[in-house]
Amino acid sequence: MKLGFIGIGLMGRPMVLRLLAAGYEVCVWNRTREKLAPVVEKGARPMDSPAALARACEIVMMCVTDQHAAEAVLFGPAGVAEGASPGTLVVDFSSIAPQAAREFARRLAEQGVGLVDAPVSGGVPGAEKGTLVVMAGGAPEHIERARPVVMHLAQRFTRMGDCGAGQTTKLCNQVIVGSLLPVIAEAVRLAEAAGVDATRLPEALAGGFADSLPLQIFGARMAARRFEPPLGAAAIMLKDLENAAALARERGVSLPMARTAAELYRLLEAQGRSGEDPAVLVELLAGRSAR
């Protein structure tokens, strides 16, 4: 089966490499064409446009930065909608607003094209190891059609409801992850300032109530002030928390923690650091006796 993949960024690249390693024929497209090199080198076939890619593939996967990029890829000039035929299935790993996912699904359905919103959690390490957690929304038959492919990328692919439910679940996920990262930064700074070796925190707390993948991965990077190569971007966290805040406002939910976290990412943005790894949060927090 021929697969398409649009968006060869931090996440898309390792995902495509895994699909190639699993033996799939993968057509790829990226707005910045130079970013295709590492996957084309491994056998992916570069396409001239999302439309050309959709014409060639039964399942079109995509993982792009935001709603604006997703809309351009799907419905812009030479977009997926232009090349897709009835029966084409689009699996969108991007994180966008649930309302946008429902709207995109409605527009694609008009031409017989299915959409599964399938945002992921687990970051670059999860994409590399194929241990992502995928939260999906869409018709059960579309999700089952995508499952054999997605399970090369993920340890878990859960249907949470109709289109948009994957994105809603991802926002809940990001309320947790986006808030947890500054919390871990606070713990690291407190340890340092109080004279405890913060680089030993992830191991000392492993297996307890404070443990998590972000503690092991980002906590270790924070304690070592190691931000390269980036495993994500503060700007993405801010975007997700703003989408969560918009949904919460609409539904009357209070998010005191997630809103405080969003303010911290906004401070990073004001410092011109929102393109950096979210571990740079640790440098935002004051601490007299910290290094």
Do the bridges between strand 120-121 and strand 132-137 make them parallel or antiparallel, or are there none, so unpaired?
Answer: antiparallel
- Which residues in the 212-231 window bind a copy of itself by CB under 8 A? 212-215
Do residues 43 and 37 touch, judged by C-beta distance below 8 A? no
Asked whether the CA dihedral 24, 25, 29, 34 is positive or negative, the reply is: positive
- Number of residues forming the site for a copy of itself (CB under 8 A): 77
**Residue 272, interface with a copy of itself (CB under 8 A)?**
no
Closer residue to a copy of itself, CB minimum distance, 72 or 248: 248
- Which residues in the 151-210 window bind a copy of itself by CB under 8 A? 155-156, 158, 160-161, 165, 168-169, 171-177, 179-180, 182-184, 186-191, 193-198, 200-201, 203-210
Largest alpha-carbon pair distance within the chain?
Answer: 63
* Other CB atoms within 10 A of residue 178 CB: 26
**Residue 256, interface with a copy of itself (CB under 8 A)?**
yes
Distance between CA atoms of residues 52 and 266, nearest Å:
39
**Residue 243, interface with a copy of itself (CB under 8 A)?**
no
Q: Is 170 a catalytic residue?
A: yes
Options 24-32, 42-50, 109-117, 258-266: segment touching a copy of itself (CB under 8 A): 258-266
Closer residue to a copy of itself, CB minimum distance, 77 or 256: 256
The answer, yes or no, to whether the previous bond of 229 is cis (omega within 30 of 0) is: yes
Closer residue to a copy of itself, CB minimum distance, 57 or 215: 215
- Which residues in the 102-121 window bind a copy of itself by CB under 8 A? 121
Asked whether the CA dihedral 165, 167, 171, 177 is positive or negative, the reply is: positive
Do residues 138 and 186 touch, judged by C-beta distance below 8 A? no
Q: Which of 257, 266, 269, 283 binds a copy of itself (CB under 8 A)?
A: 257
Q: Rounded to whole angstroms, what are the CA distances from 119 to 39, 102, 198?
A: 22, 14, 32
Residues 6 or more apart from 49 whose CB is under 8 A from it?
29, 78, 79, 83
**Residue 21, interface with a copy of itself (CB under 8 A)?**
no
DSSP, collapsed to helix, strand or coil, labels residue 160 as strand
Distance between CA atoms of residues 197 and 230, nearest Å:
24
The residue from 2, 42, 129, 170 that is catalytic is 170
Q: Rounded to whole angstroms, what are the CA distances from 271 to 18, 110, 235, 252, 258?
A: 36, 44, 12, 31, 20
Q: How far is the CB of 27 from a copy of itself (least distance, A)?
A: 28
Q: State how far Cα 199 lies from the chain centre.
A: 27
Closer residue to a copy of itself, CB minimum distance, 79 or 278: 278
- Which residues in the 134-153 window bind a copy of itself by CB under 8 A? 135
Q: How far is the CB of 213 from a copy of itself (least distance, A)?
A: 5
Q: How far is the CB of 70 from a copy of itself (least distance, A)?
A: 20
- Which residues in the 71-100 window bind a copy of itself by CB under 8 A? 98
Closer residue to a copy of itself, CB minimum distance, 110 or 250: 250
Closer residue to a copy of itself, CB minimum distance, 21 or 206: 206
What are the catalytic residues? Answer: 170
